[in-house]
Amino acid sequence: MTRRIQHRKEAARKGGTFDIYSIERDTLLVGRVKGVLDAKTAEKIVEFVETKEIITDMGFNRFCDMTQLEGIDISSDDVFQLASRRRAFNPNDIPVKSAFLATNPLALVIARMYAQMLNSPRIEVRVWNDMQAAADWLGVNADRLTL
């Protein structure tokens, strides 16, 4: 049975957006999700990351800021499908780190669920509720994550 996790129904009607930028010097991709995290928005983010992996000849770490979410409307099946897709997609064998920043309890649960379901030998995922801790783990200055 699929259980859809929904937070703030009024926000769910707006849909989600995201900003992504790349810091080549730090081999870092930073994403900031806004509005409502739904399956469609999450899939667009995954597509962007996969495209970047194909055109980049070196690995890059990732940081996803979930602190600006207004709502979450995604099922555990959606999270499983995304994690399975990411685990299977290996354009190279370069190990990378993927840090999620979440302060909302529901966003923390979704990010941790993704990390558990991904279980990739290539992508190490950690979920943080403190930006400095995430920056330290990624080996960058925290100001790089807030541009």
Interval 14-73: pLDDT, tens:
568 888 888 877 799 999 999 999 999 999 999 999 999 888 878 899 999 999 999 999
Across the range 127-135, mean pLDDT stands at 97
Query: Percent of the chain at pLDDT above 70?
Result: 89
Query: Could you tell me the pLDDT band of residue 105, with boundaries at 50, 70 and 90?
Result: very high
pLDDT for residue 4 is more than 50? no
CB atoms within 10 A of CB 9: 10
Across the range 83-110, mean pLDDT stands at 93
Strand stretches in the chain, DSSP E: 4-6, 16-23, 28-38, 61-75, 96-101, 123-128
pLDDT for residue 12 is more than 70? no
CB 57 within 8 A of CB 91: no
Q: Name which of 29, 25, 26 is nearest 98 in CA terms.
A: 29
pLDDT for residue 129 is more than 60? yes
Residue-range domains of the chain with CATH: 4-145 (3.30.750.24)
Q: How far apart are CA 97 and CA 63, in angstroms?
A: 8
28-38 and 61-75: which strand pairing? Answer: parallel
Across the range 71-84, mean pLDDT stands at 96
Tell me how many degrees the CA angle 51-57-63 measures, rounded to the nearest 5.
Answer: 60
Q: What is the pTM of this model?
A: 0.86
Q: How far apart are CA 16 and CA 32, in angstroms?
A: 11
